[in-house]
Structure 1
């Protein structure tokens, strides 16, 4: 699969006004890509385009609600009209309701699905004709570790992420069957990331919600996105804890149930009182057009992300671990003689 260097790419980013999408737009532009940014927050897009232009990059903004296909298609069309093509499409838009399932209305549940799942499908529908015409490129979808393991208080969000992962699995096979082997369909699954997501989601907990610590910096996810823009990637988990959770879920879902039962209800509640309004469920929410959230003090580094992007390092780590194990075994054997 031949993917262009980022410096030669035209990149469209949905959900770019804050968090991971905003950071990705800035980093793509820093590396020379032409960038089209989209979100509902026109104010957030305006400050983002200004920041990109101030650093010498080239970007335009096309406001859109990802739950509206015509608006999403307009973003793709505007990208091609302005820059002639799409090389990478990044879909990061998401929203949530933090509440037990019995307190979520049908309209709220549907809205989360419309934005997080149907919106992701709309993005692929809008971008794929252009990637097919170019006979290659990257379709990068940001889901979550909740695509692998659901959490209480987040049933619609978890459902939307599971659905997106299933949709992408089917899409990959169809593209291969149709002969589009140069289209990279990547699913990026972040662990808990320090973005304004927890400020903007609707909460019925009576307090501001939080992810289950530790947090990771948004730059880790951005690094994975930029990597997937230039390298074939299928599923990329961001964060050591996410990889451990994935392994535990595969080995014993009931054990993960027990752990989450013990820690996830209190663990997702801060002590900061917060009502249901304001939130970004149906309308954009002003004041949070930034990359990072409020949990910087809970951020930790991730060792396995470096290894995941460097197969040589991964094999070296395995080899060192194997040699270490062999050496201990031989040492134990020699001690017996």
Structure 2
């Protein structure tokens, strides 16, 4: 899969906004045709227009990722319209911001159905298409919170942990079968997406991603890179992700105490809680501004570059240049 995406068929779930929206655009800019899955019609239509403006073909299919039959039918429709699926990117999620004791059972269940089983169902549909051809790549958009959970996001953190475990199991099965299908996970940092405005929240103040915050285009570049280099099991994006995941391995009890002391305040701004109806059960297509785009409300505080990720993308050519320079220097010394 390394190389051009020109003419490839890519499926992106959660494509109507946030990371999914940015991912859809970047694959279209690479020449891919993109199948777009999400619940919201207006956001899907806007994403489809962006894909086509970039020169790709788009097929938008309104899909509830918690319903496998809908996912299966969407995959069939995309293959019929755009051709065999080469890359499937699982992004779609739902969440609740609240202490665990304030979350209702049906709310926790639905977050799990979308944010975990939605990835499972997307992967099932992708494998149904890819296994007979013995080729294809599945990219799971994960999170640093899938390796280190934080307060106020128990349902989301639980789902992201589950995605990691499920994907590890699947990877070993594909290895056992000597399959040409690859699956990889991109662990994301805090990203400036619209979710913090529309998520179901019982916090007293407006929820926010824990800084440092990155723009969704940083996440999209990482997903594209992972799709081109799927043999690696995981990619970590952003210095904060690296620090979080390494910190969890080295000193988890220290992180427990730190997050207990800071995790509530760091996930809230000083602004009042949003008045919008949450999108847990329904998309925001009945809003006056139904297309929410890729960015959330934190543009002025978000980074559009990650030095850590830039180094990860370029480490191979840098190492090759450094190695060549070392060989040349050694040869010059011997002359």
Q: TM-score, structure 2 length as denominator?
A: 0.90
| Aligned partner of 2:218 among 203, 208, 220 | 220
Q: Deviations over 1:184-205 (max 9, x none)?
A: 2011111000111211210001
Q: Residue 89 of structure 1 contacts residue 127 of structure 1 at CA under 8 Å; is this kept in 2?
A: yes
Q: Deviations over 1:33-63 (max 9, x none)?
A: 0111110001111111122223332111111
Q: What residue is the counterpart of 2:311 in the other structure?
A: 307
**Root-mean-square deviation (Å):** 1.9
Correspondences of 1:79-94 after superposition (within 5 Å): 79-94=78-93
Correspondences of 1:196-275 after superposition (within 5 Å): 196-232=194-230, 233-274=232-273
- Alignment partner of 1:290 is 2:293: yes
Q: What residue is the counterpart of 1:25 in the other structure?
A: 24
Quote the offset at 1:275 in angstroms. Answer: 5.6
Alpha carbons of 1:311 and 1:4: their partners in 2 closer, same or farther (altered >3 Å)? closer
**1-side partners of 2:42 and 2:82: how far apart?**
23
Correspondences of 1:12-161 after superposition (within 5 Å): 12-161=11-160
**2-side partners of 1:139 and 1:89: how far apart?**
5
Quote the offset at 1:236 in angstroms. Answer: 1.0
Quote the offset at 1:288 in angstroms. Answer: 5.0
- Alignment partner of 1:281 is 2:280: yes
Q: What residue is the counterpart of 2:186 in the other structure?
A: 188
Quote the offset at 1:277 in angstroms. Answer: 5.0
Quote the offset at 1:312 in angstroms. Answer: 2.8
Alpha carbons of 1:307 and 1:68: their partners in 2 closer, same or farther (altered >3 Å)? same
Q: Residue 97 of structure 1 contacts residue 202 of structure 1 at CA under 8 Å; is this kept in 2?
A: yes
Quote the offset at 1:128 in angstroms. Answer: 0.3
Helix, strand or coil for the counterpart of 2:137? Answer: strand
Alpha carbons of 1:317 and 1:307: their partners in 2 closer, same or farther (altered >3 Å)? farther
Quote the offset at 1:316 in angstroms. Answer: 8.1
**2-side partners of 1:277 and 1:48: how far apart?**
22
Q: Deviations over 1:228-264 (max 9, x none)?
A: 2211231111111110111111100011112212221
Q: TM-score, structure 1 length as denominator?
A: 0.90
Helix, strand or coil for the counterpart of 1:167? Answer: helix
Number of residue pairs matched by the alignment: 317
**1-side partners of 2:210 and 2:226: how far apart?**
26
Helix, strand or coil for the counterpart of 2:264? Answer: helix
Helix, strand or coil for the counterpart of 2:6? Answer: helix
Q: Residue 23 of structure 1 contacts residue 218 of structure 1 at CA under 8 Å; is this kept in 2?
A: yes
- Alignment partner of 1:170 is 2:169: yes
Q: Residue 202 of structure 1 contacts residue 277 of structure 1 at CA under 8 Å; is this kept in 2?
A: no
Quote the offset at 1:270 in angstroms. Answer: 1.5
Helix, strand or coil for the counterpart of 2:108? Answer: helix
Q: Residue 13 of structure 2 contacts residue 36 of structure 2 at CA under 8 Å; is this kept in 1?
A: yes
Q: Residue 197 of structure 2 contacts residue 276 of structure 2 at CA under 8 Å; is this kept in 1?
A: no
**Residue segments in structure 2 that go unaligned for 5+ positions in a row:** 324-335
